[in-house]
Amino acid sequence: MNEAYAAFPLAGLVVCLSLAGCLAPRPPGAALLFDAAGGTTWTNHVKLVPDPAGGEQKVLLGERVAKDSCQMTFINDKGFFAVPDGLRGAVIMRLLVRGEGQVRVALVSGQKMKSYYRRPLATNQWCEITLPLAELKGKVDAGDRINDITVWLQALQKGAPLAADARIYLDRVVFDPAATAGPAAPEAAGSSPKR
């Protein structure tokens, strides 16, 4: 447990974590798609770096590809997962954003693609964003295999530059067949990735 929580009574801790949207290390039943240790067959614009929040493990850093964006591309030739019937579940990404910006994520199956746009609820701390598969409707079909997940940090205004120190870090991506829509959830200040 993070030492910052040691001073709270257990009941206060539960309420605090619930109100803050802090999430468990990995939802029960969720399948790890990839992280810094592997799960991809190819990556582009990705560097392995120390955890910016001071954790012991390595995380993934997106590369600046233009004045207004940083990007990370992850490929799995066999597919990260097959989209289930009824477009059930969600992809959950654990990331940390430095600076202002919106996160764009593309889930790609061959020539089919769905982009999600999210603003993290907090910067400079690990957050989870939820990408419900229900939003794939009309873009990607049940049974299609998601083989490309590309992540961008983009300027809030189209064409505006990102701050020079803007960064996007990724700890892990999971598929949770039981997840539904949810906001970006910040974790406690000073917490580092948990797998």
* CATH domain 3-186 topology: Jelly Rolls (2.60.120)
Interior angle at CA 132, CA 81 and CA 93, nearest 5: 70
Q: What is the pLDDT of residue 5?
A: 33
Please report, as a single letter, which amino acid is at residue 180: T
Structure tokens at 32: 């790890």
Q: What is the pLDDT of residue 182?
A: 59
Q: What is the pLDDT of residue 181?
A: 66
Residues 6+ apart with CB under 8 A from 143: 82, 83, 85
**Chain segment 135-181, per-residue pLDDT in tens:** 999 999 999 999 999 999 999 988 899 999 999 999 999 999 998 76
Which residues of the chain have a pLDDT value below 50? 1-24, 183-195
HSE-up of residue 184 (Cα within 13 Å, Cβ side): 20
Find tokens 């940090």 and name the residue: 153
Domain residue spans in the chain?
3-186
Distance of CA 103 to the CA centre of its chain: 9
d(CA 152, CA 72): 6
Q: What is the pLDDT of residue 154?
A: 96
User: Exposure string (b/e) for 56-89, b if CB count within 10 Å is 16 or more?
Assistant: eebbbbbebeeebbbbbbbbbeebbbebeeebbb
